[in-house]
Structure 1
Amino acid sequence: MPGWSCLVTGAGGFLGQRIVQLLVQEKDLEEIRVLDKVFRPETREKFFNIGTNIKVTVFEGDILDAQYLRRACQGISVVIHTAAIIDVTGVIPRQTILDVNLKGTQNLLEACVQASVPAFIFCSSVDVAGPNSYKEIIMNGSEEEGHESTWSDPYPYSKRMAEKAVLAANGSILKNGGRLHTCALRPMYIYGERSPFLANIIISSLKNKGILGVIGKFSIVNPVYVGNVAWAHILAARALRDPKKSPNIQGKFYYISDDTPHQSYDDLNYTLSKEWGFHLDSSWSLPLPLLYWLAFLLETVSFLLSPVYRYRPLFNRHLVTISNSKFTFSYKKAQRDLGYEPLVSWEEAKQKTSEWIRTLVKQHRETLDTKSQ
């Protein structure tokens, strides 16, 4: 394969940075363009000191700016699109989520057509498949089973519609007469060092004497380590560029999990942090059906108050459902079509994440010591 170039959107994020770290090891890669709305100074510096001969170009701007995207896509061989707003609690306005996750993806697809980019990989989410009810049980589900979320909440809806747009764009005629080839990856819940979700849980727990907040004690899920999700994106990029493999994956989506044991969200948090003195909350909690209907009541109050006051419930039915369902998926199809095998074992992923949690605990204690002086 001749020299190629890759654009990674959301490159300053939790997953985006990992993808860039793996991309620099790719053969014949001449340029990586990293794109995000804003890069932290330390992230920007990390990209500039990445220790490779590959050219790294930083693009900082809005995914809703069509001209900016076209400029970023010019001369690119592969786009890996991870930029998204992830919000399942209702903090961020619905329109903002729809604009970034759906309109931003549509803008990027159009930029690829105009700039004649032949390959597009979309980081989707298991949320586009459901679960639609906490009573629904899916264990080791597959792509062929056709699971689809029916939630109208902005995050699952925007990701579902964006994925449909990406897969429908497969085969689009490019400005230079070539064709655009697309695929989508649906990772499970992603954990690992520098996870913003996990960091929030740990910091909140440190303020609560090391008691881990209840997230989803009734769930059975198969979380996936961030390094393995990043690796799947690299393999998808290789496959879309390979004339032999590409026809098999064009216009298709793949579930991405790994060998992390099936467990509840609460058990995962405890397993990763128990070495540093964290423990599960043993206090009584509401039964799941009651929790669900309480969420419905809070949503109703929020809706009734909306003309005069923006009330955001602490939780909603979508959050209760995704946090407490038995919902796992196999990576066999990705294994068959992409050659995907987890790069990092469960034991190694657990160790790396636990070590990172130790640094959070240390930072927290140092902050407390400084304040007490």
Structure 2
Amino acid sequence: MSLKGDVCVVTGACGFLGEHLVRLMLTEENLEEIRLLDRNIRTELVQELQGKYSETRVTVFEGDIRDADLLRRACQGASLVFHTASLIDVLGKVEYSELHGVNVKGTQMLLEACIQENVSSFVYTSSIEVAGPNPRGDPIVNGDEQTPYSACLKFAYSRTKKEAEELCLRSQGERLRDGARLATCALRPMYIFGAGCRFTVGHMRDGIRNGNVLLRASPRRALVNPVYVGNVAHAHLQAARALRDPQRRSKVGGNMYYVADDTPPISYSDFNHAVLAPLGFGIQEKPSVPFPVLYFLCFLMEMMQTLLRPFLQFAPPLNRQLLTMLGTPFSFSYQKAKRDFGYTPKYTWEEARKTTTDWLAVMLAKERAKKRKAE
């Protein structure tokens, strides 16, 4: 079903996924209006979108996701919300109260605004880290939504995303102020890559400092299935179409779906090499420090972080849970999304890799220009 004529709100609209989702909707749908809700609006992006897609009105709502008045104004007259905004933190740099406030309280307030303003469809961007891996590093290979798993989530980020996802799914069927019912679903993408991914750029910078050799943080056996940002955006659009379709609304509503694509299973470190190798980067055969030693060092750094917390905000560059995540085989299938709302990847692995590498080439040129200027 088309979203033609709909008014849509995208939270985190200027973020990595949000921008790709907005661009995809402007290309594929003839919406009446897309409302960009973000704490940090990028003026140049808004001007480009407003100038390029004149048939759809693009409006801006700048502010905090915890601002109830802002949320009510953004949702007034809208029929669909994509909630992609969240704080991401796997190093312990952000206070738990801030993570909870944005990821959980912000989601709750947005759902309340939807109910008050009669927004009938809500698509929530969850995370693979809601699934795990657990601190034991128990693997999952090609799992699905029914795969049993004992997950004890260590990251505060993971816990807040899980709580927000549960809020979203529990809101399925809530009665709106006009008497209609709210339909919700949650999408759990794998590790998202593509143009705009700051994590890939960070690994590239580490590689530059290491003489154009990427650091190995994960063993080759720790296979995961990263997903291209364009395919994640496409899955969001397909899920929204299903929620807006009276024939499929009850089937998709209230459900969680994993979002992957046909990127070959690969470790996180070897994935970084796959997209950066064409730019002249190598990769370490083995990590500089053996994983058991690195695990012990992470333990010591975490103890130091705990001891210093009353006096100093210290975040280690690596921790045990992050090391476990990097070293655990953890992959999932997208077949349920395919069955329920027709999701199939829009972009092949070859297309996704080329687009990502081309963007990284531009970023690499900028890094080298900055280095020359500094010298």
TM-based fold match above 0.5: yes
In the TM superposition, residue 288 of structure 1 has moved relative to its aligned partner by 3.1
Instruction: Name whichever of 269-278 and 213-222 sits farther off.
Output: 213-222
Contact 1:63–1:69 (CA under 8 A) maintained in structure 2: yes
- Which residue of 304, 309, 319 maps to 1:306? 309
Contact 1:24–1:52 (CA under 8 A) maintained in structure 2: no
Q: CA RMSD in A?
A: 1.7
In the TM superposition, residue 28 of structure 1 has moved relative to its aligned partner by 4.5
Alignment deviations for residues 134-183 of structure 1 (CA, whole Å, 9 cap, x no partner): 54110000101244632242110010000000000111111111111100
- Which residue of 362, 365, 370 maps to 2:365? 362
Q: Name the counterpart of 1:347.
A: 350
Q: Which amino acid aligns with 2:238?
A: L
Q: 1:252 to 1:283 in 2, by over 3 A?
A: closer
Contact 1:190–1:223 (CA under 8 A) maintained in structure 2: yes
After TM superposition, list the pairs within 5 Å mapping 1:1-373 onto structure 2: 3-133=5-135, 135-147=137-149, 149-218=151-220, 219-282=222-285, 284-372=287-375
Alignment deviations for residues 108-153 of structure 1 (CA, whole Å, 9 cap, x no partner): 0010011110000000001000000354110000101244632242
Alignment deviations for residues 208-263 of structure 1 (CA, whole Å, 9 cap, x no partner): 32121233235210000000000000001100000111111110000000000000
Alignment deviations for residues 179-206 of structure 1 (CA, whole Å, 9 cap, x no partner): 1110000000000111111112212322
Contact 1:5–1:78 (CA under 8 A) maintained in structure 2: yes
Q: Which runs of 5+ in 1 are unaligned?
A: none
Q: Which amino acid aligns with 2:63?
A: G
In the TM superposition, residue 46 of structure 1 has moved relative to its aligned partner by 2.3
In the TM superposition, residue 347 of structure 1 has moved relative to its aligned partner by 0.5
User: What TM-score does the superposition give when structure 2 sets the normalisation length?
Assistant: 0.95
Distance 1:291 1:367 in 2: 32
Contact 2:115–2:176 (CA under 8 A) maintained in structure 1: yes
SS at 1:72 equivalent? helix
Distance 2:77 2:148 in 1: 36
> Taking every aligned residue pair, what percent have the same amino acid on both sides?
44
Contact 1:116–1:178 (CA under 8 A) maintained in structure 2: yes
Distance 2:370 2:296 in 1: 40
Contact 2:135–2:154 (CA under 8 A) maintained in structure 1: no
Q: Which runs of 5+ in 2 are unaligned?
A: none
SS at 1:144 equivalent? coil
Distance 1:173 1:283 in 2: 56
Distance 1:104 1:27 in 2: 28
Distance 1:148 1:109 in 2: 29
How many matched pairs?
A: 372
Moved over 4 A (4+): none
Contact 2:38–2:63 (CA under 8 A) maintained in structure 1: yes
Distance 1:291 1:363 in 2: 32
User: What TM-score does the superposition give when structure 1 sets the normalisation length?
Assistant: 0.95
